[in-house]
Amino acid sequence: GAVVSQHPSWVICKSGTSVKIECRSLDFQATTMFWYRQFPKQSLMLMATSNEGSKATYEQGVEKDKFLINHASLTLSTLTVTSAHPEDSSFYICSARVATEAFFGQGTRLTVV
Amino acid sequence: RKEVEQDPGPFNVPEGATVAFNCTYSNSASQSFFWYRQDCRKEPKLLMSVYSSGNEDGRFTAQLNRASQYISLLIRDSKLSDSATYLCVANTGGFKTIFGAGTRLFVKA
């Protein structure tokens, strides 16, 4: 199957700092990528849809100025959590679809202290 | 109302048991459906696609009822290694993939 690589797999940062997460499609081009967040024992919640060469589409309740998404190429989307706070601590995961199947990055566990 | 709703679980079953998970979706325009499996602290992995005609893969059987907007997953002869969270997934119009909250399964020896 298709490979989606996400980096870093975990990060600990201080409150108020920004964290960038990268999501790469390694063996295919992805015009669209998706960013999810998952809190412990909860479902994957779609945060935003990242579109190559255009603005991301954010889900209701997701602050676009806090979660900056850049999809500058067909193989790379980045999510930057700006001015992170402890409540932003979560598991962030990206995905891209090939036909109807979703392929996921390994996920990034963010801990804000 | 959530777009995709699942049995809350957790399901605790002995090895060898048969267990069934249910899922409903609210968007009638949803086009394709899947079951994913997620192990603790890992990314979801595709388990199987779901079709109206049914889909069987070894011990796993998935079924879709479009009229009722209902999806099911049946696991026969449960193994310890089946312990995981099972996510019901609907691909809606607009290229979105929506996940259910997941059902946790614990298979005990």
| Whole-number Å distance between alpha carbons of B15 and A91 | 31
- Can you tell me whether residue A88 is helix, strand or coil? helix
| Whole-number Å distance between alpha carbons of B23 and A48 | 24
| Whole-number Å distance between alpha carbons of B5 and A8 | 31
For chain B, the maximum distance between any two Cα atoms, rounded to a whole number of angstroms, is 44
Nearest to B36 by CA among B11, B65, B71: B71
HEC secondary structure over A26-44: CCCCCCEEEEEEECCCCCC
Taking a C-beta distance cutoff of 8 angstroms, is the pair A56, A101 a contact? no
Q: Does A93 touch chain B (CB under 8 A)?
A: yes
Percent of chain A with pLDDT over 70: 99
Taking a C-beta distance cutoff of 8 angstroms, is the pair A57, B94 a contact? no
Nearest to A8 by CA among A105, A89, A113: A105
Query: To the nearest whole angstrom, how far is the Cα of B100 from the nearest Cα of chain A?
Result: 6
Quick one: average pLDDT of A50-76? 92
**Are A32 and B96 within 8 A, CB to CB?**
no
- Which ranges of B5-109 does DSSP label H, i.e. alpha helix? none
User: What six digits make up the tokens of A69?
Assistant: 């998404």
Please say if the pLDDT value at position B94 is more than 80.
no
Mean pLDDT of the residues in chain B:
91
**pLDDT category of residue B105 using cuts at 50, 70 and 90:** very high
Strands A108-112 and B19-25: unpaired
- Write down the pLDDT at residue B9: 85
| Whole-number Å distance between alpha carbons of B30 and B53 | 17
- Write down the pLDDT at residue A98: 81
Q: Which of A44, A52, A95 to mutate to test the interface with B (most CBs of B within 10 A)?
A: A44
**Are B99 and A97 within 8 A, CB to CB?**
no
Query: To the nearest whole angstrom, how far is the Cα of A99 from the nearest Cα of chain B?
Result: 10
DSSP secondary-structure letter at A86? G
- Residue of chain A nearest B102, judged by CA positions: A43
DSSP secondary-structure letter at A50? E
Quick one: average pLDDT of A83-112? 91
- Owner of token pair 């290694």: B81
- Write down the pLDDT at residue B54: 87
Please say if the pLDDT value at position A72 is more than 70.
yes
Mean pLDDT of the residues in chain A:
92
Quick one: average pLDDT of A58-68? 94
- Write down the pLDDT at residue B7: 85
Percent of chain A with pLDDT over 90: 71
Integer Rg of chain B from CA = 13
- Can you tell me whether residue B80 is helix, strand or coil? helix
pLDDT tens per residue across span B42-93: 888 999 999 888 899 999 999 999 999 999 999 999 999 999 999 999 987 6
Name the residue among A32, A43, A109 with its Cβ closest to that of B99: A43
**pLDDT category of residue A88 using cuts at 50, 70 and 90:** very high
Phi first, then psi: what are they for A88, rounded to 5°? -85, -5
